[in-house]
Amino acid sequence: MKKSKLLIQLMLFFMVSNMVAQTPQITNVENRQTMTLNGVWKYLVDPYELGYYDYRRTVRDLQENPSKSESFFLGYQQQDPSERVEYDFTKADNILVPGDWNSQKEKLFYYEGTVWYYKAFKYQPKDEASRQFVHFGAVNYEADVYLNGQKLGKHIGGFTPFNYEITDKLKEGENFLIVKADNSRGLEKVPTVNTDWWNYGGITRDVKIVEVPETFIQDYYIQLAEGDDDVIEVSVTLNGSDKAGREVILDIPEAGIKSTLTTNEGGVATGTVKAKKLTLWSPQNPHLYDVNLMFDDNLVSERIGFRTLLVQGSDILLNDESVFLRGISIHEENGMRGGRAYSEEDARMLLGWAKELGCNFVRLAHYPHNENMTRVADEMGIMVWSEVPVYWTIQWQNEATYENAENQLTSMITRDKNRASVVVWSVANETPVSAPRTEFLKSLIEKANQMDPVRLVSAALERHTKEGTENTQVVEDPLQKYVDIIAFNEYIGWYDGRNDKLKTAEFDIQFNKPVIISEFGAGALQGLHGEKEALWTEEYQEELYRETVKMLEKIPQLRGMTPWILADFRSPRRVLPDIQDGWNRKGLISETGNKKKAFYILQEYYRMKKEQF
């Protein structure tokens, strides 16, 4: 190859890889110096992606001289009447951020595709020497981000945070940020084309500008060592030009801890700190300590809980005591307002219902929920199962698909690794058993274990009736070997037989590990009453819950359950007129906030379990 050609290829490679390069994730954005970009944005719907591709379908933002007339990312405005510009953000309709477009705009209810978001804002840096990053809580599904007409990067994955450095691109005074959000489904994506939830599109979580010193604390891990309630493991990562051999102080005043750590060449300081008689975090006493990290005059503070977590045989030990996980599954949706849940108030509503049900545990299905959920769970004393959208069928042999799934897992763990509430990372839901799928999930499990040695890893598997038996239920899945908790979705009485089948079912679980039933349930329209044999009535669902909990009690390793689901949620798969009308009706609470009869059956069962454990 000729030298010049190689050079051009290399340059192109760096250009492209730079475009998609992610700045390392900054954590605990909530407690840093930030400016919100939430609020009113402008938007243009672009189903044919005119603003992104030219008529030969080349990507405009890679062109040397992109056309001002159509390259939306330039945010250009006509300068005189003879100029052809075929878009204008300033004249576009308003949309709120955070928020999905489906529930805000009737005409976008079913829309899947590209929408361009535009926000003009003023910026005045607090400190001349500071660095700035733009941080997104999540954009579903793909986001191309531009500041003042310059590309910052592309992010893939609808439920995880990401940030870009904008120090050299941000101007004093007027700026504009443009996001191309695309929620098109695709076979190779994570999740793939087929799910049972609404594909809410847009900038669904907070957008902030984070301002930090030149060298700053980017991320940290502060948790008790595995099974040890008087040793805190610490790791702090600095970012900046002066990050090697620097001192970082860990200060937890209430615990009498003040300790200095020094960073290595890579800017990472690790160590262990002795702690005496910590008040441990638990659902009964969700104690959080004020934790301060100090580096120069850079202070990052956060409230962190400390607790130990271990599996011993079929027991889950929280602070050395066996716990039963009284759970419920939750989708990230607020049916009462309509659309994706995103705020602290939403989190308080959903987790408040779970508390009322008697829960000490929730399964945040089927993707990482917004950070308010895990923060409020920390405060309320609710343990959390957090999951990535490796759901049903994924392209198990596609390397890019794996990378995408791993990125989502990594990002979820990075964001929430200091939350005492989070006890389980789940790598999948109801995936069909095959060798490539098991390899894929095994790699995700290894990744989770490597990133976070203290939390438990699981996946929602499937069960079926054992061949040659009348009603013996088994889980035949090689993944059982690799998970800490055996979890499976059940559904006897709904997808499998009717409620009488629950009475005779036996379970044969081969492993001496804790078992959690990650789903069971029945559809019921709130307010529809009838015989307990009649589907869709509250009575059928109530009977299913009554019989299911009796049946599950026969599993010796049973240590918890997260029935499906807290509240009715929107799903395009649910079209039965007068009953579903676009809603999955397996909620214990309707989308209008009314409790169904089964709610009280589970509440009663949990009251009893609480006394037992």
Is 430 a binder of ligand GCB (CB under 6 A)? yes
Q: What are phi and psi of 146, to 5 degrees?
A: -135, 135
Pairing of strands 464-465, 456-462: unpaired
Hey, is 288 helix, strand or coil? coil
Least spacing, CB of residue 430 vs ligand GCB, in Å: 5
Question: What span, in angstroms and rounded, lies between the C-alpha atoms of 298 and 537?
Answer: 58
Question: What span, in angstroms and rounded, lies between the C-alpha atoms of 481 and 486?
Answer: 9
Least spacing, CB of residue 197 vs ligand GCB, in Å: 7
Question: What span, in angstroms and rounded, lies between the C-alpha atoms of 156 and 20?
Answer: 10
* Nearer Cβ to ligand GCB (165/196): 196
Hey, is 261 helix, strand or coil? strand
* Nearer Cβ to ligand GCB (26/485): 485
Is 223 a binder of ligand GCB (CB under 6 A)? no
Least spacing, CB of residue 195 vs ligand GCB, in Å: 7
Least spacing, CB of residue 67 vs ligand GCB, in Å: 44
Least spacing, CB of residue 194 vs ligand GCB, in Å: 11
* Nearer Cβ to ligand GCB (219/519): 519
Is 429 a binder of ligand GCB (CB under 6 A)? yes
| DSSP state for residue 508 in the 8-state scheme | -
* Nearer Cβ to ligand GCB (268/522): 522
Which listed residue (87, 220, 564, 599) binds ligand GCB by CB under 6 A?
564
Least spacing, CB of residue 269 vs ligand GCB, in Å: 41
Pairing of strands 289-295, 315-318: unpaired
Question: What span, in angstroms and rounded, lies between the C-alpha atoms of 151 and 66?
Answer: 13
Kindly write out the interface string for residues 504-533 of this chain, putting x where it contacts ligand GCB by CB under 6 A and - elsewhere.
---------------x--------------
Specify which residues 325 forms β-bridges with.
560
Least spacing, CB of residue 24 vs ligand GCB, in Å: 32
Which listed residue (547, 584, 598, 602) binds ligand GCB by CB under 6 A?
584
Is 369 a binder of ligand GCB (CB under 6 A)? no
Of all residues in the shown chain, the one whose CB is closest to ligand GCB is: 196
* Nearer Cβ to ligand GCB (117/545): 545
Kindly write out the interface string for residues 319-348 of this chain, putting x where it contacts ligand GCB by CB under 6 A and - elsewhere.
------------------------------
Residues 6+ apart with CB under 8 A from 330: 350, 354, 362, 363, 364, 365, 369, 565, 566, 567
Least spacing, CB of residue 472 vs ligand GCB, in Å: 21
Is 489 a binder of ligand GCB (CB under 6 A)? yes
- For 407-467, give the secondary structure using H, E and C: HHHHHHHHHHCCCCCEEEEEEEECCCCCHHHHHHHHHHHHHHHHHCCCCEEEEEEECEECC
Question: What span, in angstroms and rounded, lies between the C-alpha atoms of 512 and 497?
Answer: 28
Site residues (CB under 6 A) for ligand GCB, limited to 174-203 = 196
- CB crowding 465-502: b at 16 or more within 10 Å, else e: beeeeebebbbebebbebbbbbbbbbbbbbebeebebb
* Nearer Cβ to ligand GCB (194/397): 194
Which listed residue (586, 596, 597, 609) binds ligand GCB by CB under 6 A?
586
The footprint of ligand GCB on this chain (CB under 6 A) covers a number of residues equal to 9
* Nearer Cβ to ligand GCB (28/199): 199
Burial of residue 33, with CB atoms counted within 10 A of its CB: 0-12 exposed, 13-18 middle, 19 or more buried: middle
Interface contacts to ligand GCB, rule CB under 6 A? 196, 366, 429-430, 489, 519, 564, 584, 586
